[in-house]
Amino acid sequence: MPELPEVETTLRGIRPHLEGRILKGVTVRESRLRWPVSDALYVLKDCPVIALRRRAKYLLIELEAGQVMIHLGMSGTLRVVEASLSLRKHDHVDLLLDSGKVLRFNDPRRFGSVLYQPAGEPHALLAALGPEPLGEDFDGDWLFARSRGRKVAVKSFIMDNATVVGVGNIYAQESLFLAGIHPSRAAGRISRERYQRLADSIRAVLAKAIEAGGTTLKDFTSADGQPGYFAQSLHVYGRAGQPCLQCGALLKGDRHGQRSTSYCPQCQR
């Protein structure tokens, strides 16, 4: 599933092609996505694209009267292509631009979404989200204060979008390894100092992944069709039973919230 670095990479890839352009209209070939394509998209016409930004894993295309919200789901991709380019299977939605190009949304599993929110208030899907991990509101003090009294495993705690957005399974495991924290440790039993290290680790891991273009596992490629290369830097994710790259101990595996977890029993306490 594309995580925050993959979505940020996609944003940076498509932004130069959309900002300052005119959205001429929207073509919907398949409306049955995770949520039905918003009816309001069918009537959009000649809308200036003011800006593009990201909130959690949502790509937001800002228009004067509202915003188009795109979520890549498990297998969604976006490409900027010539409008005349032959369609591929699962090309569900096109945003037509005055440049003669389209932003084309492809999603084999149809678990992504293309929605519209009128200006004035945030969409319900965005209203309860926690801080951005690369933003000024996120730090060790925030994690420490929010974790008090919590018995949930710290890995599940940092994967909760109300705690911090965009720290999915891959990056949670890598961040906990870098911070030296066992993923099963109760969130409420971690010190402020260790949470500061964890917050710093989350930032460092995500920044490195964005710089590398994300992590290619099965479906993700960036907006220009190129794969991400952060997979070459993974220390624990998917490596249970292999030697730790730091100490040589065999990595162990566990499950948290029905998601697999790899960790080092020596380096992570």
Contact status, residue 259 vs residue 3, Cβ threshold 8 Å: no
Dist CA 269 CA 253 (whole Å)? 15
Are residues 26 and 38 in contact, defined by beta-carbon separation less than 8 angstroms?
Answer: no
Instruction: Report the b/e string of 198-228 with b at 16+ CB within 10 A.
Output: bbebbbebbeebbebbbbbbebbbbbeeeeb
Q: Which residues of 56-88 are buried (b: 16+ CB within 10 A; e: fewer)?
A: bbbbbbbbeebbbbbbbbbbbbbbbbeeeeeee
The answer to whether residue 121 is catalytic is no
- Catalytic (active site) residue 16: no
Residue with tokens 């309001």: 40
- Active site residue: 24, 185, 197, 259, which one? 259
Instruction: Supply the DSSP symbol for 130.
Output: -
Q: Which of 54, 57, 79, 194 is catalytic?
A: 57
**Residue 151: active-site member:** no
Report which secondary-structure segment, H or E, holds 113: strand 113-118
DSSP state at residue 139: S
Q: Mark whether 32 is an active-site residue.
A: no
- Which among 56, 68, 65 is positioned nearest to 18, based on CA atoms? 68
What is the dihedral angle through the alpha carbons of 41, 47, 49, 50, rounded to the nearest 10 degrees? -110
Report, as residue numbers or ranges, the catalytic residues.
2-3, 57, 259
